[in-house]
């Protein structure tokens, strides 16, 4: 089975599939096209739904299958230049009106085996986005959810977007990736499908996404910088702890000094009293 790859550099494929160059004339798909909100991404996204990626075929655990869904995947989930097409199928997608119920800020940190290695200060931020308007498989929610990851290597290279908000309707863009190691994991909806890397998001229906990173150069996308509010809260807590420590030290020092002064006065008074 050969894989046709367009518009991007790739590292060693994690799926074990051969990769070769091709052209976009091999894409007989009728999805509407959008434009990338992330200036580091040159691919044009296909506007799809979660159902388009998952398909309608369930495995024994109730999750979506590879062959019954998008049926293609980028070969390297951490690549900062994934292919726009694999076997003629578009890899960058745009999905509207989904919700991220819970976000994990630091799911996995650092990758010493990657080339080049990624420092442990950079972490994947992960969560499952879901199409709450799709009731086709009720009550099997595995078939309306797809795992998404704000990738550590994109943070390391300063091209990631801010983390998306929880619990509100958002539109997202990302590359389609299949991770076969998670088809038995409930937290991964018993399916290998992911948007990884998640490249951009905006509040649903808004014309403009959040601000881009200041540049596409390596920048401070470390664990403490992933969420600005978290960083500010951490600094305030740190300053509060330092000030509290200083105040407590002064209190203890003052109390000790008072005890020493009292003992000195008592000893002096005893010396002044004649036998």
Provide φ and ψ at 172, rounded to 5°: -130, 155
Output the pLDDT for position 144.
95
| Contacts with 103 (C-beta within 8 Å, 6 or more apart), sequence order | 125, 126, 127, 163, 164, 166
pLDDT (tens digit, 9 = 90+) per residue, 11-41? 333 343 433 333 333 344 689 999 999 999 9
Tell me the CA distances in angstroms from 250 to 213, 240, 244, 247, 256, one per residue in order: 44, 15, 10, 5, 10
The mean pLDDT of 182-207, rounded to a whole number, is 94
pLDDT for residue 215: 42
Q: What is the pLDDT of residues 101-133, one digit of tens each?
A: 999 998 899 999 999 999 999 999 999 999 999
Residue 171 C-beta-side C-alpha neighbours within 13 Å: 20
Q: Which helix (H) or strand (E) holds 146?
A: strand 145-150
Confidence at residue 275, expressed as pLDDT on a 0 to 100 scale? 55
Confidence band of 251 (pLDDT split at 50, 70, 90): confident
pLDDT in tens, 59-118: 999 999 999 999 999 999 999 999 999 999 999 999 999 999 999 998 899 999 999 999
Residue with tokens 């509060």: 240
Predicted TM-score of the model (pTM): 0.69
Q: Is the pLDDT of residue 7 over 80?
A: no
Once rounded to an integer, what is the mean pLDDT over residues 203-214? 74
């Amino acid at each position: 089975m050969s894989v046709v790859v367009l518009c991007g550099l790739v590292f060693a494929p994690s799926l074990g599939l051969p990769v070769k160059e091709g052209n976009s004339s091999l894409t007989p798909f009728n999805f509407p096209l959008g434009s990338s909100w992330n200036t580091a991404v040159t691919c044009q996204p296909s506007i799809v739904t979660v159902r388009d990626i998952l398909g309608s075929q369930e495995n024994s655990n109730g999750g979506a299958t590879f062959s019954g869904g998008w049926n293609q995947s980028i070969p390297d989930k951490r690549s900062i230049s994934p292919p726009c097409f694999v076997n003629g199928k578009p890899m960058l997608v745009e999905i509207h009106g989904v919700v991220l119920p819970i976000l994990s800020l630091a799911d996995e940190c650092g990758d010493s085996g990657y080339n080049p290695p990624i420092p442990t200060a950079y972490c994947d931020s992960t969560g499952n986005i879901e199409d709450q308007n799709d009731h086709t498989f009720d009550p099997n929610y595995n078939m309306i959810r797809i795992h998404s990851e704000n990738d550590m290597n994109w943070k390391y290279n300063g091209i990631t977007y801010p983390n998306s908000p929880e619990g509100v309707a958002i539109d997202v863009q990302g590359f389609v990736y299949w991770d076969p190691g998670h088809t038995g994991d409930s937290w991964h909806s018993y399916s290998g499908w992911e948007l990884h890397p998640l490249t951009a998001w905006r509040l649903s229906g808004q014309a403009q996404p959040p601000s881009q990173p200041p540049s596409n150069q390596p920048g401070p996308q470390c664990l403490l910088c992933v969420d600005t509010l978290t960083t500010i809260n951490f600094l305030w807590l740190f300053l509060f702890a330092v000030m509290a420590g200083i105040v407590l030290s002064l209190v203890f020092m003052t109390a000790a000094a008072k005890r020493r002064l009292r003992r000195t006065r008592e000893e002096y008074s005893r010396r002044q009293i004649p036998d």
